[in-house]
Chain A
Amino acid sequence: MRQSDIVVEDLVKRYGRRVAVRGVSFTIGEGEIIGLLGPNGSGKSTILRILTGYLPASAGSVRIGGIEVAEASLAARKLVGYLAEDAPLYDGMRVGEFLRFMAELKGAFGGAGRRAVRAACERLRLEPVLGMPIGKLSRGYRQRVAIAQALLLEPPILLLDEPTNALDAYQVIGIRELIRSLAGTRIVLVASHVLTEIEKVATRVMILREGALLTADAMAEAAHSSRIRLGIGGPGEAVLGVLREVSGVVRAEIEPGTPARGSDLHRYLVEGATDGLAEKLSNAIIGHGFALAELTEEKPDLESIFLALTRRADPALAA
């Protein structure tokens, strides 16, 4: 086991009767930038807090670098740099003072602490605000200070909870570049509900919904599935029935706004497995005597995978 590996098995977290995390399992290896994507309240922050040892798990196990977090939380925390959601910081402290304090908590005193603070400040370009009280910083600087404290002493694992929350476009780009630059030998786990942010930085995307992990690799899911747009003449419901019968089809629907007035040409969107789906569909349509006017195959993006998975998990959404 490498020092920076994260292994989560059957993780469950309950708050009273409410289940926040339901049997989540995943493994993360060195050098990965993982995006943990899910709507608000899906359990992303709870999982991150359990990884840091801040929250105890109700069941299951979490190992960081081979250390069981529940048994040796202190040792595990030494491997982790954590940015909590909304960057909770001590407003009364000055930036330099806060970073030195955090460096000391992480075991860097005197010269080592000063060097760690200097390195983090250079990386986040915090020199202009080192002497300022945190409470007087802009939202962007505040977020950068919170990231700087997570980066102190270059931990092998970085857990970032909504790192671009409430930042302007330039700041978002800056944070995104920073996250990319942090990869290499460490694990970066970014939790966010902003799909585009995750898509731009992550090498692997995990999708959560209502505490359950829908996929541990949405990109792989995307590679193994396809989206096909079809233009077919004939009665909509009958054609839809035929399309849904084809093996490998996960979802088929009539695109809104069709058919055009005076025409029976409907447009359909079909999602399903990659292997030969287009051919199977065209055979089925022609076989049933419908007129196939158009067939376009496209690779699904993260958004469509996210929607497909969440719809599959929640029939109410699909309806």
Chain B
Amino acid sequence: MRTFLALLKKEELALFTSPIAYVVVALFLIVMGYTFTLSLFLSHINDFVHMFFQIYALFLLTVPIITMRLVAEERRLRTLETLLTAPVTEAAVVLAKFLASMSLLVVMLVLSGAYPLTLTVFGSPDWGPIYSGYIGLLLLGAALVAIGLMTSSLVANQLIAALLSLSLFLLLWIIDHFGWLLPDPFDAFVVNLSLLVHFTPFATGNIFLSDAGYFISLALLGLFLSLRALAWR
């Protein structure tokens, strides 16, 4: 456990001492702040559903930037050799990288908590959908980070890793549109691969185990494939 904590600390330091983390958080807050101000003060909308969809889209765009260097950089600089010839398991390395990236998303979500709190000044927001939305974002984040980690484990070039992640995310975003074109039973299968289809209930205040199971399965699959990619040398 202490070895794992050492790995986690190293990953957290690498993430939070790089400018990427701060640029991502700053961009996230600027876009969120702009949209929130616009919707509350100009459109007078006192709910948070559209904000959750905006965070959803921002996650799709920023997670590839956060995860691109995780393993790709270690492969390029060959530090993976230094790391994995020490007595640590590949699973511990993968999990530490995953949790470190998740912690940045958690920081972003915690900072975005200022917006629902602001709503309480002007009215009484319905907290149920806000809680479910944040749970959905956490699950979505976990799935995206695991996929980003997987693509970073497959290549030694950060840019390619980021583009690969982004392509996969966009495909999973819009895949339900293709699903509707397919005959039964393929339509249901493809539609159910969609990130948006499973995220929408969370954003609108509904928590279904099937949606949570989808994101958890995606995260576990991403972590498993990352592990396999790391073991493939």
Contacts and interface: CB of A to CB of B under 8 A. Distances in A.
A88 B82 contact: yes
Given A92-B14, A105-B3, A105-B7, A49 B81 contact: yes
A15 to B, nearest CB: 10
A54 B78 contact: no
Interface stretch (A75-83, A199-207, A252-260, A263-271): A75-83
A88 to B, nearest CB: 4
Given A90-B79, A91-B77, A105-B6, A84 B85 contact: yes
B233 A106 contact: no
A104 interface: yes
A55 B13 CA distance: 28
B2 interface: yes
Contacts of B7: 105
A102 to B, nearest CB: 6
Contacts of B185: none
B20 interface: no
A88 B89 contact: no
Those 4 A-B pairs whose CB atoms lie nearest each other, nearest first: A104-B6, A88-B78, A105-B86, A52-B85
Contacts of A54: 81, 84-85, 233
Given A84-B82, A88-B82, A149-B82, A105 B87 contact: yes
Contacts of B88: 74, 105
Contacts of A91: 77
A62 B78 CA distance: 23
Given A77-B87, A102-B86, A104-B2, A86 B78 contact: yes
B81 A88 contact: yes
B210 interface: no
Given A101-B10, A104-B3, A80 B85 contact: yes
Nearest to B2: A109
B17 interface: yes
Contacts of B2: 104, 109
A107 interface: yes
A149 B79 CA distance: 13
For this complex, into which size category does the number of interface residues on chain A fall?
20 to 34
Nearest to B79: A88
Interface of A: 49, 52-56, 74-75, 77-78, 80, 82, 84, 86, 88-93, 101-102, 104-107, 109, 146, 149
Interface residues of B, number: 23
Contacts of B84: 54
Nearest to A149: B82
A74 B77 CA distance: 23
Contacts of B89: 74
Interface in B4-47: 6-7, 9-10, 13-14, 17-18
A74 B84 CA distance: 10
Given A74-B88, A105-B88, 15 more contacts: A49-B85, A53-B85, A54-B85, A54-B233, A74-B89, A88-B77, A88-B81, A89-B79, A90-B10, A90-B14, A93-B10, A105-B3, A105-B83, A105-B86, A146-B82
Nearest to B84: A54
Contacts of B77: 88, 91
A102 B82 CA distance: 9
Contacts of A78: 87
A107 B81 contact: no
Interface string B120-147: 0000000000000000000000000000
B95 to A, nearest CB: 14
Contacts of B83: 105
Nearest to B3: A105
30 contacts: A49-B81, A54-B233, A55-B233, A56-B233, A74-B88, A74-B89, A77-B85, A78-B87, A80-B85, A84-B78, A84-B81, A88-B77, A89-B79, A89-B82, A90-B14, A90-B79, A90-B82, A92-B18, A93-B10, A102-B82, A104-B2, A104-B6, A105-B6, A105-B83, A105-B86, A105-B88, A109-B2, A109-B6, A146-B82, A149-B82
A159 to B, nearest CB: 9
A82 to B, nearest CB: 5
Contacts of A77: 85-87
Contacts of A80: 85
Nearest to B232: A56
Contacts of A75: 87
B87 A106 contact: yes
Contacts of B17: 92
